[in-house]
Structure 1
Amino acid sequence: MPEPTGVIHDIGYQRYTGPRLGRRQVFGALYLHGLRTAFGLGRSAKAKIFPWLVVGIVTVVAAGLTAVRSQIGQVVMTYAQFADAMSWLVIFFVAVAAPELVSRDLRSGVLPLYFSRPLPRADYPLAKLLALATALWLLLGAPQLVMFLGAAFTTDDGLRGVWNELLDLLPGLLYAGLWAVVFASIGLLVASLTGKRAFAAGGIVAVFLMTTPIVGTLSIMPSRAVNELAFLASPSTLVNGVGTWALGDLLVGEGGGGLPIGDFGPVYAGAAVLLVATCVVLLLARYRKVATR
């Protein structure tokens, strides 16, 4: 009878003996990866073109405003007004970034792998939402910082002038945060409904742009109350209405202006909070459903 000829080879497989990280580290890794993805970092050169083109545009605009201000000695555009002026770019940035954050994972079917780790179902969408909101805040806030540095170095009032400029900057950064949270909540919710990035991008643009005609229609109605509440119908004008109420001259300038919202400022603020809360709740519900398939 021939002897067995089988041989067991040691090819070097070893058990993992390092530290086993938990929920906090997984959430942080998802957040950082999402933030990098929003700007195309760690991906192909093609994926970097649009986000960094937007970054370049807002930075050039901020630098141009700073240069003009230093020449004429007057504020051309306040920090809050800058956020408003760049909001149309934010829409398209969201339309590109949000599908990259969630639609790709839906299409490739990798979510079961995420949820096989110590990651509660709610943490995945919340990490993605936080990453997108941070990216949008940086997109609007970093150019404001450029404007602040230019104003601080050219002021004639010394430390007092720098302090006054800082007091103008902080509300502008908060206002940029409002834009970021509202747009990120809506954009990520729409993107989570489909695994096709083109459909998700189109849906996001449609939500933001197709609601504008509704505002125009309501604003010419014969009722004054309807006119003043008309701006609730679009996310962009909703945020602008909150800014008109909360920031006053920091947004509309000393010459007045802003949206004609009357005494409904608190209503706009409450509507913005309700909109974000609703989007987050629906987003969490969406991923509870996806995770159990």
Structure 2
Amino acid sequence: MSETGVIHDIGYQRYEGPRLGRAATITALYGHGVRAAFGFGRSAKAKIFPWLVAGITVLVAVIIAAVKSQVPDFEFGYVEFDDSLSWLIIFFVAILAPTLVSRDIRAGTLPLYFSRPLRAADYVIAKFLAMVTAVWLLLGVPQLIMFLGAAFTTEKGLSGVWDEVRELVPGWTYSLLWALLFTSIGLLVASLTGKQAFAAGGIVAIFLVTTPVVGVLTQLPSSAANQMAGLASPMTLISGVGSWALGSDIGMDLGRYGPIYGIEAFCLIAACLLLLLARYRKVAAL
């Protein structure tokens, strides 16, 4: 008795559409990351915290804009706005970073990502840009509200509006620095574990542990130690860069060490990104 095989045509066809390539993959991951940061496409519970934080920042901006419209001499700039919300942003980053990367580790989706023509660098770039965008929007949108309030209530006409623009641009630049530094630290810590609670606790711990060190160094009798104390914590590091580069008043004397703050901030961001890339290259190679 001979055995014969039968080939059934069930309608499968080869994909003949356009191949969008790496740029489209990065863009898709980036867009998904920004949406996830604010809870879009997720449960109602996932939307509570990010929109609560966003609501607080907007409310603070509205109050400041209202006060400045009634008290022209009220001095509270766009740079000071970021510093006043520092701990709120830290907690936002502590929740957002694990959402973007720890969930992929816990759910086991990384092997699926890297089984496609997706490089580790593509994944890191997409997640990094998505989180930077989310943090910057959290600070930049309220600053824009403050600007609009000041621009529409100024008594100096166009010159007053131009003065506000000249203050807003450094404020947005400062917000971008916050986003870059906090994102690099947050993603690196979150990439080490699939447990979101551990990742969030680790991120907050970095700031809790390093902040008292700054206080100790400022009490030393050496003026050089006092001026370089801010280098010991990411929060005061950013403030130091703002003081050196943007002329903001942080209540710290940096002396001649201002450029060192800028160099350390750049090196810290670069080091975190390189370690993050090495981490995902190792995962992709498994």
Q: TM-score, normalised by structure 1?
A: 0.93
**Corresponding residue number in structure 2 for 1:292:** 285
Which deviations, in whole Å up to 9, do the C-alpha atoms of 1:7-38 show, x marking residues without a partner? Answer: 98765544323212100000000111111111
Which deviations, in whole Å up to 9, do the C-alpha atoms of 1:67-92 show, x marking residues without a partner? Answer: 01111223341000001111111100
For residue 175 of structure 1, what is the amino acid of its counterpart? Y
The answer to whether the aligner puts 1:215 opposite 2:214 as a matched pair is yes
**Corresponding residue number in structure 1 for 2:125:** 126
Q: Give the conservation status (yes or no) of the 8 Å contact 1:242–1:269.
A: yes
Flag structure 2 segments of 5+ consecutive residues without an equivalent.
none
Q: Indicate the RMSD between aligned Cα atoms, in angstroms.
A: 1.7
2-structure distance, mates of 1:50, 1:25: 30
Identity, % of aligned pairs? 64
Flag structure 1 segments of 5+ consecutive residues without an equivalent.
none
**Corresponding residue number in structure 1 for 2:202:** 203
**Corresponding residue number in structure 1 for 2:47:** 48
What secondary structure is seen at the aligned counterpart in 1 of 2:15?
coil
**Corresponding residue number in structure 2 for 1:115:** 114
For residue 280 of structure 1, what is the amino acid of its counterpart? L
1-structure distance, mates of 2:117, 2:283: 17
**Corresponding residue number in structure 2 for 1:242:** 241
Q: TM-score, normalised by structure 2?
A: 0.95
The answer to whether the aligner puts 1:92 opposite 2:91 as a matched pair is yes
Aligned residue among 261, 264, 269 for 1:268: 261
**Corresponding residue number in structure 1 for 2:252:** 259
The answer to whether the aligner puts 1:279 opposite 2:272 as a matched pair is yes
**Corresponding residue number in structure 2 for 1:32:** 31
2-structure distance, mates of 1:233, 1:186: 14
2-structure distance, mates of 1:200, 1:81: 29
2-structure distance, mates of 1:117, 1:21: 13
Name the count of aligned residue pairs: 284
1-structure distance, mates of 2:224, 2:176: 29
For residue 134 of structure 1, what is the amino acid of its counterpart? T
**Corresponding residue number in structure 2 for 1:225:** 224
Deviates more, 1:70-79 or 1:32-41: 70-79
